[in-house]
A and B are shown apart, each in its own frame.
Chain A
C-alpha cells in the first residue's frame, strides 16, 4: 500500500479541494465490506444446490456450512440495505448523482472507451467522471438495486410476492440474483485494478483529497 503515502508536496498543497465528501467515503467502504460478506456467504449458499455445473471453492465461502452462510447473508443484508438506502437518498438529495453521473451519452461512452483502449484517457481532474466511469457506476447502482430486490423476493416469496412477480417466478429471480452477483464481481475486479492503476483516486476515496 505504498501508493497511499502522502508526500510532502501534496500535504503542503492543502487545503486541496475535496474530491470525495466524507459521506461518500464512509458509505463506499461500508458497502465494500457488506458486498464482500454477501458474496462470500452467497457462494456458500450457492454450493448447497448449484445452479450450474460448478461449485465455489470452500476457501472462498463464509460460514462453514449452509446454515452459517445463511446467517451471514441475512445479517450482512441489513448492513448492505441500510447503507445502500442512505447512499441512494443522499445521492439524489444532494444532486451528486445528477452532477457526477449524468449525462451518459452513447457518443461520449464510445469516445472514452476508444481513448481508454489506446491509453489516452486522462484522469487529471478526479472530480469529473469520464463517460466509461459514469456508465459503470450508474450501471452497478442499478445492479445493486436489482440484487437486493431479487434477494428480498426470494427471502419472502409469499409476503413480498409482488417482488417475485416482478421478475417472473422464484427460479427466475434466483438466476437474476446470481447474474447480478457475477456482474458485481466483474465490476469489482475492473474497479480495483483501475483504482490501483490510478492510486490518487484510491487516496481520494480514503482521505477525501
Chain B
C-alpha cells in the first residue's frame, strides 16, 4: 500500500469513507447475515448444511435480545466512563457516517427547533437560543465505534437528565427516542436508565466551539456508555415513550442496547 494518512492510529481516512459506503443501507444485506462463501467453509467442516440462513438468523436475533438483557442487567447507573485530560484528545476527531461529509445535514440554526413529544408535561419546542441558556458541562471521553476504532473528544452541553426533569418527563418510561435530520431519517432509541446516566449529554459544543456540521450541528446526544451509533447527531426531536420504535442501525441488526 502506498502512503496512508492516519487520522488516528490504525484508522485509515480512506477506509473510513469506504466503510461508510460499504455500510450503506442495502435491502439485500440482511439476508446475508448467515450467508456468504464462508458458509461453504463451515458446511465443509461440519459435513452438513447446519446453518441454513433463516434459522441461523432467527437464532442470532434471539441471542442478540438475550445480550440486550445481559447488558441491561450489568448496567451500573453510577459507573462513569473514564475521562481524559485535554492532551489526550484525538486530532482531528474523525467524521463518520453512512454518507460523505458533503451530504451531511446542513441545518439552519435559526430555524431549527427541538421538538419534544410523548410522556412529558411540557411539550413546548425549544429554540437553540433557549437551549444554549441551560447550564452546561464539559466531558472528555472516549467515543467507541461499532467498527472497532475509537477516538477521544471533548463535548459540552446539558446533562440529558436535567433536561428531562425540566420538561417533566415520565422517567419511568422505557425509552427516549431520537429522530434526526440525516437523509433517510436517522433515529435511535435510548433506554431510560442510560438516558438518566450522569454523563449522557445534549451536546452543543465540540472542543469548546459551537458543534460543527461534521459532528452534528445543532445538537448531538453524547452517550459515553454507548457505542457511537447510539450517539445521534443532527437531532430534531425527542420522544419519551414506552414503545420500542426501532432505530436506523438497530433495525438492520446492530445490537440494540450496544452499551459500553
Contacts and interface: CB of A to CB of B under 8 A. Distances in A.
A, B from the same assembly: yes
Given A46-B148, A64-B32, A157 B64 contact: no
Contacts of B9: 171
Q: How large is the interface on A (under 10, 10 to 19, 20 to 34, 35 or more residues)?
A: 35 or more
B225 A71 contact: no
Contacts of B237: none
Contact of A63 (B12, B36, B40): B36
Contacts, number: 131
Nearest to B62: A75
Interface string A41-63: 00001101111110000111111
A159 B254 contact: no
B150 A170 contact: yes
A179 interface: no
Contact of A71 (B41, B45, B63, B260): B63
A23 interface: no
Q: How large is the interface on B (under 10, 10 to 19, 20 to 34, 35 or more residues)?
A: 35 or more
Given A156-B259, A158-B81, A74 B41 contact: no
Interface of A: 33, 36, 40, 45-46, 48-53, 58-68, 70-72, 74-75, 78, 156-159, 161, 170-171, 174
Interface of B: 1, 4, 9-12, 15-16, 19, 22-23, 29, 32-42, 45-46, 59-61, 63-64, 67, 71, 74-76, 79-82, 142, 144-150, 224-225, 249, 252-255, 259-260
Given A67-B33, A70-B146, 11 more contacts: A48-B23, A53-B4, A59-B36, A59-B38, A68-B32, A70-B253, A78-B63, A156-B259, A157-B144, A159-B79, A171-B10
